[in-house]
Amino acid sequence: MNEKVETIKKELENSLKKVNDMKSLNDVRVEYLGKKGKVTELSTHMKDLDNNQKKEFGKILNNLRKSVENSLESLKVKIEEEELNKRLEAESIDVTLPGNKLHVGSIHPLNKIIKEVEDLFISMGYDVAEGPEIETDLYNFELLNLPAGHPARDAQDSFYINDELLLRSQTSPVQIRTMLANKEKTPIRIICPGKVYRKDNDDATHSHEFHQIEGLVVDKDISMNHLKGTLEAMAHHLFGEDVQIRFRPSYFPFTEPSFEVDLTCFKCEGKGCSMCKGTGWIEVLGAGMVHPQVLKNCGYDPEKYTGFAFGVGVERIAMLKYEISDIRDFYTNNTKFLEQFNKFESGEENESK
Ligand code: PHE
Hey, whose CA ends up nearest to atom 4 of ligand 1? 170
pLDDT the model gives residue 274: 87
Percent of the chain with pLDDT strictly greater than 90: 60
Hey, is 39 helix, strand or coil?
helix
Predicted confidence at residue 352, as pLDDT, reads 39
Which residues does 17 contact at the CB level (< 8 Å), separation at least 6? none
| Mean pLDDT estimate for the chain | 91
Neighbouring CB atoms inside 10 A of 165's CB total 15
Pocket-testing residue among 192, 212, 289, ligand 1, by greatest number of atoms within 8 A of Cβ: 212
Phi–psi pair at 114, nearest 5 degrees:
-60, -45
Percentage with pLDDT > 70 across the chain: 97
pLDDT of residue 267: 85
For residue 2, CA distances in Å to 8, 11, 35, 107 come to 10, 14, 21, 85
Lowest mean pLDDT among 180-184, 268-272, 309-313: 268-272
Q: Determine which residue's CA is closest to atom 10 belonging to ligand 1.
A: 287
Our answer on whether the CB atom of 141 is closer than 6 Å to any ligand 1 atom is no
Would the pLDDT of 191 be above 70? yes
Amino acid in the structure at residue 43: S
Question: From the CB of 287, is ligand 1 less than 6 Å away?
Answer: yes
**Gap between the Cα atoms of 16 and 72, Å rounded:** 8
222 CB within 6 A, ligand 1: no
Angle at 149 between CA 148 and CA 153, to 5 degrees: 85
Ligand 1 centre to CA of 249 (Å) is: 14
Give the DSSP letter string of 262-331: EEE-TTTTTS--TTTTTSSEEEEEEEEEEPHHHHHHTT--TTT-EEEEEEEEHHHHHHHHHT---GGGGG
Residue 160 DSSP symbol:
B
Q: Which whole number is the average pLDDT over 108-131?
A: 97
pLDDT at 348 over 80: no
Q: Give the best-scoring range by mean pLDDT among 100-109, 241-250, 260-269, 338-347.
A: 241-250
Looking at residue 345, its pLDDT comes to 57
When comparing pLDDT for 239 and 341, which is higher? 239
pLDDT on residue 343:
65
More confident residue, 353 or 98: 98
Question: What pLDDT is attached to residue 353?
Answer: 35
Pocket test for ligand 1, best of 139, 143, 144, 170 (most atoms within 8 A of CB): 170
CA dist 289 and 250 (Å) reads: 12
Tell me, using a 6 A CB cutoff, whether residue 252 lines ligand 1. yes
- Atom 5 of ligand 1, nearest CA residue: 311
Residue 256 backbone class (left: φ over 0; alpha: ψ -120 to 50; beta: rest)? beta
Which secondary-structure segment (H or E) carries 246?
strand 245-252
Look up the pTM and report it.
0.71
Task: Answer yes or no: is pLDDT of 113 > 50.
Answer: yes
Q: Tell me the per-residue pLDDT of 157-179, one tens digit each, with 9 for 90 and over.
A: 999 999 999 999 999 999 999 99
Using the mean position of ligand 1's atoms as its centre, give its distance from the Cα of residue 275 in Å.
23
Would you say residue 33 has pLDDT above 60? yes
* Torsion of Cα atoms, 210 then 295 then 287 then 307, to 10°: -130
Confidence band of 351 (pLDDT split at 50, 70, 90): very low
